[in-house]
């Protein structure tokens, strides 16, 4: 059942159903829209309406009670045919006799504006997934729009930086980012510059068809952009593109709203900073505010230009959102072009001021960092040597003093490969070019007696020694030395000894249960299991026993300095810890 309405056409009343009325209205509106740009166009449109009224009268005379959409389609095709119209008039108003050549009528003139060779480039909203750019290009240049879309997606996969290139061409990643971003930017620039095929005339020109009553009738009969054809039967691939396009479109709208909120906050913050008395906040970061005061005008210009660069896209996105929900009309081509030109100008200005500002900020940061670094190094330099605070705390608590530290890369301790595998810190130096000359020692006052110095050490090359000597009033001083074994960072005497003892205890658990309760059992296990049960190369070594007959001050430590060791250092690193200077009696010897 269809609803009928009554219309007034040139003072005559006609009964017509709603579908037929909508088609007739679109057709007459399109005619008025098109011919309004031509001289005498309104009169032509009125003449056509008069012809339509005459044909409606003929239908009523033939017994038609209500005009249907089929009647309207037939009438607008008849109106569009020259032989069905009244005899055309010459430009002087004279009737042209039959058989004579007549001047071109408005229909031929309209046809000259758009034929197959004069297509115009529009965004095609009737077959869009995002902005209708690729659909418009496919209509203009030819080809199935599906292949245009697949080709566009393929560019992201085939160019460096796409999925395939990320698998095989890692070195070209930066080129891929540039190309893919360019493709996205190009799409949105075309979306801004290409006009929308809103009217039936635009859609005919987009397809390269003549703008005449016949084609206008066909076009207005087609579903409009809001009436997506075959919406429920678009297929799997079409459905995928529709969903992705919808998600992208609404993501862009969400981005525009977020940018608007962010810009509002930025504007409020900028106004607050510009107007707030700086004495209230200078104490928070004096270096920053000194830079701010010196470059306030530059910062203001750069900030305003940057806000403008963000403001125009934000406005366009929000305007597009309201156009989507039919609260605003889409922007015209002139407005879009003006926005684009202004945005490019703002972008160039923001890039210029921003680049200059970044250079100034970098210079200020470098200067500030240099000042802070000098202050930091000054605070952590002791006896002319710079120490990391953690290293200085470790060494000073144990009374260690660095005597010489050439080519040690300002690193004198390390952690992570202690012989039990725990995180204890130990003396350590490293230089990949075997250049470090390092001596570290501490001093103790000893009473007369016999003493033995032991330490846990490791190295990856020859030439590192532990040493000891006593202050002497005579010209000769005896220096005791023992070279550190070059076992590298695996195995080592400590590991072998611990592994052997642990295995021995484990083997005799049943026969000798008391051995299971040895106090050092867990310690032995820790050494044996370190570094995945490979050990870290540590050895326990001792100096020859030292005998003193009077109180002396003894200096002991570890060194790679040939002046002290009388040997060349051939390794890259060495480590030392757990020094113990212990008095022994005759029985212990």
Q: How many CB atoms lie within 10 A of CB 322?
A: 13
Question: Is pTM beyond 0.75 here?
Answer: no
Quick check: 377 pLDDT over 50? yes
Question: Could you tell me the two tokens for 407?
Answer: 């080519």
| Range with lowest mean pLDDT among 83-92, 121-130, 367-376 | 83-92
- Dihedral angle computed from the Cα positions of residues 25, 26, 30 and 36, in that order, rounded to the nearest 10 degrees: 30
* Longest CA pairwise span in the chain (Å): 148
Residue 547 φ/ψ, nearest 5 degrees: -115, 130
| Each residue's pLDDT tens digit, 216-250 | 666 666 655 544 444 444 456 556 666 766 677 67
| Each residue's pLDDT tens digit, 154-189 | 776 765 544 444 444 444 444 545 666 677 777 777
The SS3 of residue 83 is helix
Walk me through the domains of the chain, giving residue ranges and CATH numbers.
4-113 (no CATH), 387-492+536-584 (2.60.120.260)
Of 420, 450, 416, nearest in space to 524 by CA: 420
Q: How confident is the model at residue 530 (pLDDT cuts 50, 70, 90)?
A: very high
Looking at the DSSP bridge assignments, the partners of residue 428 are: 575
CB 459 within 8 A of CB 485: yes
| Each residue's pLDDT tens digit, 311-336 | 888 887 778 777 767 777 777 777 87
Question: Could you tell me the two tokens for 537?
Answer: 């190369």
| Each residue's pLDDT tens digit, 82-125 | 334 444 433 334 444 444 444 444 334 433 444 444 677 888 77
CB 458 within 8 A of CB 574: yes
DSSP 116: T
Strands 552-559 and 12-17, by their bridges, are unpaired
The SS3 of residue 103 is coil
> Rounded distance, CA 281 to CA 293, Å?
12
Share of the chain above pLDDT 90, in %: 27
> Rounded distance, CA 192 to CA 183, Å?
14
Which are the contacts of 45, defined by CB distance < 8 A and separation ≥ 6?
A: 28, 31, 32, 35, 36
Between 145-158 and 133-141, two packed helices, what is the crossing angle to 10 degrees?
120
Of 372, 347, 387, 571, nearest in space to 463 by CA: 571
- The mean of the pLDDT values for the chain is 76
Residue 385 φ/ψ, nearest 5 degrees: -125, 135
């Amino acid at each position: 059942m269809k609803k009928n309405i009554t219309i007034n056409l040139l003072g005559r009343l006609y009964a017509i159903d709603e579908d037929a009325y909508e088609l007739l209205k679109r057709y007459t509106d399109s005619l008025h829209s098109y011919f309004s740009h031509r001289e005498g166009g309104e009169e032509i449109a009125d003449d056509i309406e008069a012809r339509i009224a005459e044909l409606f009268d003929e239908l009523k005379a033939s017994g038609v009670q209500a005009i249907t959409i089929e009647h309207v389609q037939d009438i607008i095709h008849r109106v569009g045919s020259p032989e069905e119209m009244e005899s055309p008039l010459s430009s002087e108003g004279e009737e042209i006799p039959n058989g004579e050549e007549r001047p071109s009528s408005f229909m031929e003139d309209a046809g000259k504006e758009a034929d197959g060779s004069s297509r115009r480039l529009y965004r095609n909203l009737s077959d869009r997934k995002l902005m209708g750019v690729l659909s418009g290009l496919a209509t203009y240049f030819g080809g199935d729009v599906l292949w245009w879309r697949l080709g566009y997606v393929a560019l992201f996969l085939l160019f460096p930086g796409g999925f395939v290139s990320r698998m095989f061409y890692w070195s070209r990643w930066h080129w891929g980012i540039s190309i893919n971003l360019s493709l996205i930017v190009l799409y949105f620039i075309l979306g801004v510059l290409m006009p929308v095929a809103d009217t039936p005339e635009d859609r005919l020109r987009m397809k390269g068809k003549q703008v005449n009553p016949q084609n206008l009738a066909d076009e207005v009969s087609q579903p409009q952009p809001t009436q997506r054809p075959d919406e429920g039967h678009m297929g799997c691939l079409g459905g995928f593109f529709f969903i992705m396009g919808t998600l992208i479109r609404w993501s862009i709208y969400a981005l525009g709203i977020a940018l608007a909120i962010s810009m509002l906050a930025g504007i409020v913050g900028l106004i607050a900073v510009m107007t707030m008395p700086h004495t209230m906040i200078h104490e928070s970061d004096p270096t920053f505010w000194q830079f701010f005061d010196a470059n306030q005008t530059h910062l203001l210009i750069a900030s305003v230009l940057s806000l403008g660069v963000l403001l125009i896209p934000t406005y366009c996105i929000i305007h597009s959102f309201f156009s989507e929900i039919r609260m605003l009309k889409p922007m015209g081509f002139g407005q879009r072009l003006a926005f684009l030109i202004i945005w490019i100008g703002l972008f160039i200005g923001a890039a210029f001021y921003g680049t200059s500002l970044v250079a100034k900020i970098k210079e200020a940061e470098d200067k500030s960092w240099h000042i802070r670094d000098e202050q930091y190094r000054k605070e952590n330099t002791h006896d002319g040597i710079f120490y990391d605070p953690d290293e200085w705390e470790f060494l000073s608590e144990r009374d260690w003093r660095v005597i010489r530290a050439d080519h040690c890369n300002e690193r004198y301790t390390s952690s992570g490969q202690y012989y039990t595998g725990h995180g204890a810190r130990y003396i350590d130096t490293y230089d990949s070019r075997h250049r470090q000359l390092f001596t570290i020692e501490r001093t103790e006052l000893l009473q007369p007696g016999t003493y033995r110095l032991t330490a846990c050490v490791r190295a990856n090359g020859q030439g590192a020694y532990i040493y000891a000597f006593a202050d002497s009033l005579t010209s000769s001083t005896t220096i005791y030395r023992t070279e550190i074994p070059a076992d590298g960072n695996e195995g080592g005497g400590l590991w072998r000894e611990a592994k052997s003892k642990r295995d021995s205890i484990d083997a005799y658990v049943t026969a000798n249960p008391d051995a299971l309760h040895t106090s050092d059992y867990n310690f032995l296990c820790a050494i044996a299991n370190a570094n995945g049960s490979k050990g870290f190369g540590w050895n326990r070594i001792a100096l020859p026993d030292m005998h003193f007959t009077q109180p002396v001050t003894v200096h002991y430590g570890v060194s790679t300095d040939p002046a002290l060791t009388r040997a060349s250092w051939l390794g890259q690193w060495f480590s030392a810890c757990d020094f113990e200077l212990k008095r022994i009696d005759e029985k212990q010897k």
